[in-house]
Structure 1
Amino acid sequence: MRLPQGSRPPPVPLIPEAERTPALLIHLSPLLGFILPVLGNVLGPLAAWLAYRDRSRVLDDQGKEALNFQLSVWLYSFVFGLLFFALFSLGLIGGAFGAAAGSPDLGAFALFGSLAAFFAFFVPLTLVLWAFPLVVMLLAVIRVNQGRAYRYPLSIRWVR
């Protein structure tokens, strides 16, 4: 949507001073994932959103944002893990069939191909999937500390 020439975009709603600390806690709650691996990063925002959603519309909105983003990251990680497991397994199975067919070179090629895919594809993407949510969470904390609401990128709107 284009704005008419000379007009300004609507102002970003400000978070009142009294609601900034709870909003910061909501956005920092995914750090629970360091204590409870696998689901802590989702349980933290869920608990924070449930605790603060009735206090104000802003806290309800920011809680949904944090929860939706963590659910999305969890889904992306799960799909990535399944895809990697399937591809890695296919490489190993292909190598086993090649070795069983009497071609040990084919078996070694499949094994090293699977290991190369692990180090060239899986490790870097895992680092991105680990670091990206932390960076975005810090950006959310900075924005909320300035009194502005934050919208997470690449977030599927599960909870509306």
Structure 2
Amino acid sequence: MNEQPLQLPTPNAEIRQWAMFCHLAALAGLLMPFGHVLGPLVMWLWKKNLDPFIDDQGKEALNFQLTVFLASLACYALLYVLVGFVLYGILVVYALVFTIIAGVKANNGQAYRYPLTLRLIR
């Protein structure tokens, strides 16, 4: 099931900026454990009522980071057969690249959908 992004008029600069922050808040994972999930969660809960675009992009960022978290658990389980090291490295690069792409798209006013993401929060 391929869900299409929310189609809304182009939001103003402030709304686009908050939507970008929802995506880039995942970089908090570089500073603290579980920050990649807590950053988008806090940002989304704080600003979701401000605009539908922020709500949509905040949920998308949170869903992606939850998917990354679940994938990292699988990588940790595979560390015992050594393939987990390689998979975890690929996962980190994948998450970083797509988080930055999503932040840029949101700042341009485009609703972004991460590939290979479980949509746990609707």
The Cα of 1:21 is off from its aligned counterpart by 1.2
Show the counterpart of 1:55: 50
The one of 81, 100, 115 equivalent to 1:138 is 100
TM-score, scaled relative to structure 1: 0.67
The 8 Å contact of residues 77 and 84 in structure 2, kept in 1 or not, is answered as no
Root-mean-square deviation (CA, aligned residues, Å) is 1.4
Greater RCO, 1 or 2 (C-alpha within 8 Å, sep 6+): 2
Secondary structure class of the residue paired with 1:36: coil
Secondary structure class of the residue paired with 2:110: coil
Q: Which runs of 5+ in 1 are unaligned?
A: 1-11, 89-117
Show the counterpart of 2:12: 16
* Residue-by-residue CA offset, 1:73-103 (whole Å, 9 max, x unaligned): 0001102212333xx3xxxxxxxxxxxxxxx
The 8 Å contact of residues 20 and 144 in structure 1, kept in 2 or not, is answered as yes
Q: Output the CA distance in 1 between the equivalents of 2:84 and 2:74.
A: 13
1:72 paired to 2:72: no
TM-score, scaled relative to structure 2: 0.86
Q: Output the CA distance in 1 between the equivalents of 2:112 and 2:104.
A: 9
The 8 Å contact of residues 143 and 149 in structure 1, kept in 2 or not, is answered as yes
1:29 paired to 2:25: yes
Q: Output the CA distance in 1 between the equivalents of 2:87 and 2:60.
A: 24
Which has the higher Rg, Structure 1 or Structure 2?
Answer: 1
Q: Output the CA distance in 2 between the equivalents of 1:141 and 1:15.
A: 15
Q: Which runs of 5+ in 2 are unaligned?
A: 1-6
* Residue-by-residue CA offset, 1:7-65 (whole Å, 9 max, x unaligned): xxxxx54333230111111111001101112x110000000000011111111110000
Total equivalences in the alignment: 115
